[in-house]
Amino acid sequence: MRRPFSLLVLMICALPVWADNLDQLYKVAGWPDQRAHFTDALSAAQQRYRSSLPPAVFQALVDNSNQRFQAQAIDRRALAQLRATLSDSSPALTFFQSPLGRKIVAAELMATRKDQLAKNAQGLPKIQASDDRLLLIGHLAQALPAREAGAEVSLAIAGVAADSLSSMLPGLFGGGQAQGMLDGQRQRLMQQIGADLNNTLLYVYRELSDTELEEFATFAESPEGQAYYQAAVAAVRAGLAVGQNGADLR
């Protein structure tokens, strides 16, 4: 009986460490900061609707989006999905705690700040790069789920208006119709993002040296990196509640 009891004690003791690792990873990899940047983009999107919608519809949009994208709710849903899909958070935590990992996160956070988004609203500048650097960026473009994550963010913001209309006019979108529209939009957005993805990555990671890009690509292409990034896309979708009816989130 001693060995099973000892194993049980070890498992119980390990659980808080695993949970702490995941919470650390969530913070170190920049998730709370990216969520704050998403909130800034959401506020800007809300204001764009103000002049084109009747006051009652606009207020419904604001109320629904504020409820859907409440900060703690996003974090709770995203963390729960990470726990469900990422079996071992240690490799990703080790990478993002490294000097290179912190540099990567800083570059990504810089790119999504509201002032930077406003600055590049008409498109990113064309980045010139050597053949070797273009090859490294190509590897990153294949390994990182930038198309998928970008599409989920865009769908989340676009879905606020549809959700608001649906709440005021129940039955406006049938379940199958809504899912079909969502899937079609997702594919179109991924194609749009993919068309200029290499230049986007060249711009975002412009401060990384070729050696750092190679190390980043090596992690992203590794089984551990792929496990993290696949879990990350699922967590983005869960956190932003893409495709979920607003009533189900109350």
Residue 1 falls within a domain, yes or no?
no
Q: Which DSSP string corresponds to the chain?
A: -HHHHHHHHHHHHHHHHHHHHHHHHHHHTTHHHHHHHHHHHHHHHHHHHHTTS-HHHHHHHHHHHHHHT-HHHHHHHHHHHHHHH-S--HHHHHHHHSHHHHHHHHHHHHHTSHHHHHHTTT-PPPPP--HHHHHHHHHHHHHS-HHHHHHHHHHHHHHHHHHHHHHHSTTSS-HHHHHHHHHHHHHHHHHHHHHTHHHHHHHHTTTS-HHHHHHHHHHHHSHHHHHHHHHHHHHHHHHTTTT--GGGG-
Q: Residue 100 pLDDT more than 80?
A: yes
Q: Residue 156 pLDDT more than 90?
A: no
Instruction: Write down the mean pLDDT value for the chain.
Output: 84
**How many independent structural domains does the chain possess?**
1
Q: Residue 242 pLDDT more than 90?
A: no
Residue 7 falls within a domain, yes or no?
no
Q: What is the pLDDT of residue 247?
A: 54
Q: What is the pLDDT of residue 18?
A: 45
Mean pLDDT of 64-86: 92
Name which residue leads in pLDDT, 53 or 192: 192
Residue 136 falls within a domain, yes or no?
yes
Residue 6 falls within a domain, yes or no?
no
Q: Write out pLDDT tens, residues 23-51.
A: 999 999 999 999 999 999 888 888 888 88
Categorize the per-residue pLDDT at 1 as very low, low, confident or very high, splitting at 50, 70 and 90.
Answer: very low
* Residues composing the chain: 250
Name which residue leads in pLDDT, 76 or 56: 76
Q: Write out pLDDT tens, residues 175-184.
A: 444 454 567 7
Residue 8 falls within a domain, yes or no?
no
Q: What is the pLDDT of residue 176?
A: 44
Q: What is the pLDDT of residue 161?
A: 63
Residue 10 falls within a domain, yes or no?
no
CA dist., res. 177 & res. 181, Å (int): 6
Q: What is the pLDDT of residue 126?
A: 95
Residue 63 falls within a domain, yes or no?
yes
Residue 222 falls within a domain, yes or no?
yes
Instruction: Sort 92 into a burial class: Cβ within 10 Å, 0-12 / 13-18 / 19+.
Output: buried
Q: What is the pLDDT of residue 182?
A: 66
Categorize the per-residue pLDDT at 158 as very low, low, confident or very high, splitting at 50, 70 and 90.
Answer: confident
Task: Supply the range of the domain harboring residue 180.
Answer: 17-249
Q: What pTM value is reported for the model? A: 0.84
